[in-house]
């Protein structure tokens, strides 16, 4: 063999050896990593988007997702298999599992040696008994089993462990001979993982159960916690149904009640529906003055620009933050929530059965103008008209100089709704006026309903949230908004529209209305995907069936109105109803939406508030 051929053979042998060696090297290992890192905690029922990246997988087989925990229900994935880098949605269980955590696993589909990545997520409840601790004022308005209107306001002290250690309540039923004044309250309460709860209150007068309150002196409230300071409530027993609010009391000092206030109260005077609203000034010594700035509507008889004076007895407040206010010839109990908010209920006559609120004007007092209302505002109104219940939600845009440049409205007046659903009626030719003390008015023409024309507008502190008075981070920029027409009246709020996108996540919801079976109140919890649907559980009191429906399914669908930002139309189904109700809601801000049943046979109005 010559030298050249020898070199060729040696080179071939080297190549064969190297190739053989390479064939024995293992392939690079498959790796899995969770990118981005999953959240450390997640509330019950909520969803989060997760993804996993797989390296070293020549088959590109993707990821299998699983979850384990100490309970049977650990949540779910959709989809349970994804490509590398693709997203899956994890939905937390509706109840925290044993141990409080779940372990999610993203495993390589192609791996033969169990390549995976894991993460632990703590599942937290929306609320618990400890969420409600302190002294809370409440109010409700609704109906008794005879169909008569009743109202109540009071205060309860909650220990954070399920006990109502003290309380006081004033209760006024238009069917009774006299109101129940300053009943004492004790009792218990529970709070579920989704924030829904129940409170049992024993109402007593001079140590004896008050037979006029609840069932034999035991009053049952259902509620949905929004945050530690605020809950939506309803009375939930066989004798009464109603809707209202529970709010933390942060002061009980009478001297804090000073400066300008806007107020309303509504209910009935005899057989007539009634609403009054206006502006008053408190001097901090118990004296209240309204000078030509109170409006009233009693059964369609409207009176503008009345003057009244009042005094707070003492002036002192008791340990419940309760005081007695004589104003406009009537006597009221008030329950102070804070220096700028107190609830009001009539206590001297069942003929005059009304409840309401007063809200401070803060730094704006004395310096309001038309410019105080500039931009877009969501509003609601609830009351009565010639067709029965009168419910409204809508959106107004103002120019800051007295013109309502655009407006839409959805309403339900005894089954009479806008003529071309799902489109709203429009508001045209609208104007408004505003005095420096916050006493104002608004008028306009509703295209499909000539009965809706005139409103009172009463300015409040620009930093105040009227739905959740202790909330200082959202919902500011509001006014009281009261309908004052001869054929319809009502009271509500006007809220600066700070957001138009429906809020995803956990929400408290209520509904106050009248369906085919009679008065119905609903309070509950729903989880929303923020784009098309929500679902959850609620307590519904169908008083005239009679039936108290506990923890029944509540579900809705919705679609954004592409013409009117922040308006959504859809359906609401309660307890699996075959024919769901028509639903419209307006998003006011990230924490609040105002909704209405726009249904010829079913009437109702309420709020959707994000749970925090």
Sheet containing 116-124: give its strands across. Answer: 41-43, 116-124, 101-108, 63-69, 81-82
**Looking at residues 131-153, what average pLDDT do you find?**
97
C-alpha 195: how far from its chain's center? 12
Percent of the chain, pLDDT > 90? 89
579 pLDDT higher than 90:
no
546 pLDDT band, cuts 50/70/90, is confident
Q: How confident is the model at residue 4, as a pLDDT?
A: 47
pLDDT tens for 92-112 read 999 999 999 999 999 999 998
pLDDT tens for 175-211 read 999 999 999 999 999 999 999 999 999 999 999 999 9
Weakest mean pLDDT among 158-172, 330-344, 542-556: 542-556
DSSP state letters, 239-299: SEEEEEEEEE-----GGG-EEEEEEEEEEEETTEEEEEEEEEEEESSSEEEEEEEEEEEET
78 pLDDT higher than 50:
yes
Q: How confident is the model at residue 10, as a pLDDT?
A: 41
Can you point out the beta strands (E) in 450-532?
454-459, 478-484, 488-496, 505-515, 518-528
Mode of pairing for the β-strands spanning 352-360 and 258-269: antiparallel
DSSP state letters, 337-403: EETTEEEEEE-S-SSEEEEEEEEE-GGGTT---GGGSEEEEEEEEEEEETTEEEEEEEEEEEESSSE
24 pLDDT higher than 80:
no
290 pLDDT band, cuts 50/70/90, is very high
At CA 279, angle to CA 333 and CA 451, rounded to 5? 100
In angstroms, the Cα distances linking 490 to 75, 381, 394, 486 are: 44, 5, 14, 11
**Beta carbons within 8 Å of 2's beta carbon, 6+ residues apart:** none
Domain boundaries, the chain: 31-124, 368-610
pLDDT tens for 294-321 read 999 999 999 999 999 999 998 889 999 9
Q: How confident is the model at residue 12, as a pLDDT?
A: 44
Instruction: Let me know if domain 31-124 sits in CATH 3.30.230.20.
Output: no
545 pLDDT band, cuts 50/70/90, is confident
16 pLDDT higher than 50:
no
26 pLDDT band, cuts 50/70/90, is low
């Amino acid at each position: 063999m010559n030298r050249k051929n020898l070199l060729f053979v040696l080179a071939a042998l080297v190549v064969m050896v190297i190739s053989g060696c390479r064939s024995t090297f293992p392939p690079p290992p498959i790796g899995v990593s969770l990118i981005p890192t999953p959240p450390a905690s997640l509330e019950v029922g909520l969803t989060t988007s997760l993804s996993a990246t797989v390296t070293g997988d020549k088959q590109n087989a993707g990821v299998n997702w699983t979850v384990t925990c100490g309970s049977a229900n650990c949540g779910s994935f959709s989809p349970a298999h994804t490509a590398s880098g693709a997203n899956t949605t994890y939905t937390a269980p509706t109840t925290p599992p044993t141990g409080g955590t779940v372990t999610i696993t993203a495993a390589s589909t192609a791996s033969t040696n169990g390549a995976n990545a894991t993460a632990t997520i703590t599942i937290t409840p929306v609320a618990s008994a400890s969420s409600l601790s302190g002294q809370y004022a409440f109010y409700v308005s609704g109906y008794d089993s005879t169909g008569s209107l009743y109202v109540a306001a009071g205060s309860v002290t909650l220990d954070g462990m399920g006990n109502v250690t003290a309380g006081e309540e004033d209760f006024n039923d238009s069917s009774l001979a006299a109101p129940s004044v300053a009943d004492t309250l004790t009792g218990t309460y529970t709070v579920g993982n989704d924030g829904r709860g129940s409170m049992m209150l024993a109402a007593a007068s001079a140590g004896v159960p008050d037979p006029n309150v609840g069932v034999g002196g035991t009053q049952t409230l259902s509620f949905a916690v929004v945050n530690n300071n605020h809950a939506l409530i309803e009375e939930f027993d066989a004798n009464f149904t109603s809707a209202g609010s529970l709010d933390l009391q942060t002061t009980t000092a009478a001297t804090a009640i000073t400066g300008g206030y806007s107020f309303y109260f509504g209910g009935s005077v005899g057989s007539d529906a009634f609403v009054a609203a206006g502006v008053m000034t408190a001097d901090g010594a118990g004296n209240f003055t309204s000078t030509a700035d109170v409006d009233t509507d009693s059964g369609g008889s409207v009176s503008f620009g009345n003057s009244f004076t009042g005094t707070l007895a003492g002036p002192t407040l008791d340990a419940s933050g309760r005081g007695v206010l004589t104003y406009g010839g009537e006597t009221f109990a008030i329950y102070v929530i804070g220096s700028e908010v107190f609830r009001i209920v009539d206590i001297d006559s069942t003929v005059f059965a009304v409840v309401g609120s007063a809200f401070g004007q803060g730094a704006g007092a004395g310096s309001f103008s038309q410019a105080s209302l500039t931009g877009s505002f969501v509003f609601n109104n609830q009351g009565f008209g010639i067709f029965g219940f009168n419910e409204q939600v809508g959106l107004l845009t103002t120019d800051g100089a007295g013109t309502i440049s655009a407006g839409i409205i959805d309403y339900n007046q005894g089954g009479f709704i806008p003529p071309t659903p799902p489109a709203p009626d429009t508001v045209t030719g609208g104007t408004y006026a505003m005095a420096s003390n916050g006493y104002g008015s608004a008028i306009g023409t509703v295209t499909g309903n000539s009965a809706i024309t005139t409103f009172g507008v009463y300015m409040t502190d620009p930093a105040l949230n009227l739905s959740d008075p202790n909330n200082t981070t959202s919902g500011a920029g509001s006014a009281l908004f009261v309908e004052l027409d001869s054929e319809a009246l009502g009271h509500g709020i006007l809220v600066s529209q700070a957001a138009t996108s429906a809020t995803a996540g956990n929400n408290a919801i209520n509904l106050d209305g009248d369906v085919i079976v009679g008065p119905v109140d609903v309070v509950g919890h729903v989880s929303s995907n923020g784009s098309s649907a929500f679902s959850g559980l609620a307590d519904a009191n169908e008083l005239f069936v009679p039936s108290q429906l506990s923890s029944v399914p509540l579900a809705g669908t919705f679609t954004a109105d592409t013409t009117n930002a922040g308006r959504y139309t859809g359906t609401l189904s309660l307890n699996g109803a075959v024919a769901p109700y028509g639903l419209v809601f307006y998003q006011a801000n990230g924490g609040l939406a105002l909704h209405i049943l726009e249904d010829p046979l079913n009437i109702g109005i309420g709020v959707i508030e994000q749970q925090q």
